[in-house]
């Protein structure tokens, strides 16, 4: 019993796994990562600078793009430290509280990105399906309120997660399967009852990602219906071209996440959702820049 209690109290840090299957290639992978992060940071910073300086870009669509760029910078800075520490400095240990803080920010930015993509799909819906009402529906004030609402929603959803985890005793192996801290990874480790954590995690996934993805899909169904009603093929293609980058961002965000969830739920199939999540992050770094 004494050993068990000691094991509970001794978990003050977690060990990040990194990429063990790429042993010997860590420096090459780190160089690739640094390049991707540099492209992302410089690209998103350039987007923000251009939108700020160019008056013609002071429109709702570009305001949402600015918010997406800021969010992507947040993701980069919240994941980069532990990834580089694991790959370059062979320092996989991360403190308990630091891990919870990183988990909060990673999920906060993920929920925020989902909300921004939904707002951008609504912007495209109004612009294509109700162009005469665009200037009255998407005013600067409405865009600002939408952005603030997205941030508040994400904060309120993610804020309880660290506290729900901190109340639990950790008495199992403290080894995580990623190079950064994620809630689905951390929830496997406590030896106490995690029912509340699991139910709350499911609730926020369904109420955020689930609802957002359905509304985005609905908006594009309505957009496609309006586009097909346009007589000129050239005009149809021109209209659809305004949605291409957003559709790519939506697919890169949701599809790999779905595959990763399925793979994680069926670990016996030999698939690893970590590579899928890493691929999504890499593609996002390039797309958003």
Residue 67: predicted pLDDT: 94
Q: Return the domain boundaries, the chain.
A: 2-287
Q: What is the DSSP string of 43-101?
A: HHHHHHHHHHH-GGG-SHHHHHHHHHHHHHHHHHHHHHHHHHHHHTS---EEEHHHHHH
Q: What is the per-residue pLDDT for 261?
A: 59
The two three-digit tokens of residue 41, written as one number: 């940071």
pLDDT of residue 74: 92
Q: What is the DSSP letter of 198?
A: H
pLDDT of residue 140: 92
The architecture in CATH of the region 2-287 reads Up-down Bundle (1.20)
Mean pLDDT for all residues in the chain: 82
Which portions of the chain are predicted below pLDDT 50?
1-9, 266, 268-273, 275-276, 289
Residue 107 has a pLDDT of 93
Nearby residues of 236 by Cβ (< 8 Å), 6 or more positions away: 227, 228, 230
For position 287, what pLDDT does the model report? Answer: 53
Burial class of residue 141, CB neighbours in 10 A (0-12, 13-18, 19+): exposed
Q: pLDDT at position 32, please?
A: 83
* Alpha carbon distance 159, 91 (integer Å): 28
């Amino acid at each position: 019993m004494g050993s068990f209690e000691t094991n509970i109290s001794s978990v003050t840090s977690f060990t990040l796994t990194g990429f063990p299957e790429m042993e010997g290639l860590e420096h090459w992978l780190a160089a690739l990562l640094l390049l991707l992060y540099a492209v992302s940071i410089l690209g998103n910073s350039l987007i923000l600078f251009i939108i700020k300086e160019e008056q013609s870009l002071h429109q709702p669509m570009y305001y949402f793009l600015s918010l997406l760029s800021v969010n992507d910078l947040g993701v980069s800075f919240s994941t980069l430290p532990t990834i580089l520490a694991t790959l370059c400095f062979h320092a996989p240990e991360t403190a308990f509280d630091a891990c919870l803080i990183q988990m909060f920010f990673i999920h906060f930015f993920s929920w925020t990105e989902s909300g921004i993509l939904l707002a951008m799909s609504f912007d495209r819906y109004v612009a294509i399906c109700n162009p005469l009402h665009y200037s009255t529906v998407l005013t600067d004030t409405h865009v600002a309120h939408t952005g603030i609402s997205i941030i508040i929603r994400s904060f309120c959803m993610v804020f309880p997660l660290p506290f729900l985890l901190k109340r639990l005793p950790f008495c199992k192996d403290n080894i995580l399967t990623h190079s950064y801290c994620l809630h689905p990874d951390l929830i496997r480790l406590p030896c106490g009852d995690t029912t509340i954590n699991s139910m709350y995690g499911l609730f926020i996934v369904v109420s955020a990602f689930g609802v957002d993805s359905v509304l985005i899909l609905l908006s594009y169904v309505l957009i496609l219906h309006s586009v097909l009603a346009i007589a000129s093929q050239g005009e149809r293609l021109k209209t659809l071209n305004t949605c291409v980058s957003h559709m790519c961002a939506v697919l890169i965000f949701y599809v790999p996440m779905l595959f990763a969830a399925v793979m994680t739920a069926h670990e016996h199939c030999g698939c690893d959702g970590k590579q899928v999540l890493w691929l999504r992050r890499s593609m996002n770094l390039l797309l958003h820049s």
